[in-house]
C-alpha cells in the first residue's frame, strides 16, 4: 500500500495504492460510516478489506478523523475535496477505499462536486442503498456502483447503476468458518472480471449503466 498522502483542512487524501496506482482517493472509517451492514446480521465487517487496511499505522487515525468531520458536517469534507481537485486536477478520483456514504447531505455534496469538476471522473462503491435516488444521477463523469455482498438482499427499484459482486475465496477464513459460501450463484455469467489494476483498466469509471463486475475477495 502507498503511504503517500496529503492533508487539506484536516482531511487526509491518499495519492494512490497498489491497486489504484496513482488514482487519488478519500476514505472514511468503515465502522463509523457503513451503517447497518457493518454490524448487522451479515457481518461483512469481519471479512472487510478496509478493516484489514487499518493495520497500517497512519490509516486508522486519518480515516477516523475524516469520518468524524463527515459526520459533524459533510461540507467540511466537500470543501477539502474541492480544494484538492482544483489543485491536483486528477483525471480520476475514487470515493471511499474505506467507508461509505454516511448521509444524504454527503451524497448531495458528491453530486455537486462531480458537476463542478467535469474533467475528473468519479467512482464510488456503496451499500447505502437507502440513500440512493431510484435512478442514477445524470452526471456523465460520476459512476456509482452498487456493492453486492454474498447473502445481502438485492435492492429493488434502482436503475442506471453498475453492480459489483464479491467472488468469495474458498480458502479464506470466512469460507472455512462457514460465514461465506464459496460460490454466489446470483453473479451474472456476463459479469466482467476485475484485473486488479485500476490505473490500467479504469472500466469501473466508464462502464455503462447495468454493467456487472466481479472482484475476487482479498
SS3 readout for 150-185: CCCCCCCCCECCEEEEEECCCCCHHHHCCCCCCCCC
Q: Whole-angstrom Cα distance, residue 108 to residue 24?
A: 21
> Residue 66 has which C-alpha cell?
475524516
Residue 134 backbone dihedrals phi, psi, to 5 degrees:
-60, -35
Give the mean model confidence (pLDDT) for residues 21-31.
91
Mean of per-residue pLDDT scores for the chain: 85
Give the mean model confidence (pLDDT) for residues 115-124.
98
pLDDT digits (tens, 9 = 90+) for 130-156: 899 999 999 999 999 998 876 677 778
Domain ranges for the chain: 5-216
pLDDT digits (tens, 9 = 90+) for 1-21: 456 999 999 999 999 888 888
Read off the pLDDT band of 66 (50, 70, 90): very high
Task: State residue 140's pLDDT score.
Answer: 95
Tally Cβ neighbours within 10 Å of residue 120: 19
Q: Whole-angstrom Cα distance, residue 163 to residue 143?
A: 11
With 50 as the cut, is the pLDDT of residue 176 above it? no
Winning range, highest mean pLDDT, from 107-111, 176-180, 189-193: 107-111
Do 55 and 39 meet the contact criterion of CB atoms below 8 Å apart?
Answer: no
| Cα 33 from chain centre | 12
Radius of gyration of the chain (CA): 16
Give the mean model confidence (pLDDT) for residues 194-210.
91
Amino acid at each position: 500500500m502507498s503511504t503517500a498522502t496529503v492533508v487539506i483542512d484536516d482531511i487526509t487524501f491518499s495519492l494512490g495504492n497498489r491497486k489504484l496506482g496513482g488514482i487519488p482517493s478519500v476514505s472514511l472509517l468503515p465502522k463509523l460510516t457503513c451503517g447497518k451492514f457493518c454490524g448487522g446480521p451479515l457481518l461483512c465487517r469481519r471479512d472487510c478489506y478496509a478493516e484489514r487496511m487499518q493495520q497500517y499505522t497512519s490509516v486508522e487515525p486519518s480515516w477516523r478523523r475524516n469520518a468524524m468531520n463527515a459526520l459533524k458536517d459533510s461540507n467540511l469534507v466537500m470543501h477539502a475535496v474541492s480544494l484538492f481537485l482544483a489543485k491536483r486536477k486528477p483525471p480520476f478520483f475514487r470515493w471511499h477505499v474505506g467507508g461509505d456514504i454516511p448521509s444524504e447531505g454527503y451524497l448531495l455534496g458528491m453530486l455537486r462536486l462531480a458537476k463542478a469538476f467535469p474533467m475528473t471522473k468519479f467512482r464510488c462503491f456503496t451499500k447505502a442503498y437507502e440513500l440512493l435516488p431510484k435512478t442514477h444521477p445524470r452526471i456523465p463523469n460520476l459512476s456509482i456502483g452498487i456493492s453486492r455482498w454474498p447473502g445481502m438482499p438485492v435492492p429493488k427499484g434502482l436503475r442506471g447503476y453498475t453492480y459489483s459482486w464479491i467472488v468469495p475465496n474458498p480458502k479464506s477464513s470466512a469460507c472455512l468458518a462457514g460465514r461465506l459460501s464459496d460460490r454466489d450463484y446470483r453473479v451474472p455469467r456476463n459479469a466482467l472480471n476485475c484485473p486488479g489494476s485500476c490505473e490500467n483498466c479504469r472500466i469501473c469509471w466508464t462502464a455503462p449503466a447495468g454493467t456487472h463486475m466481479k472482484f475476487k475477495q482479498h
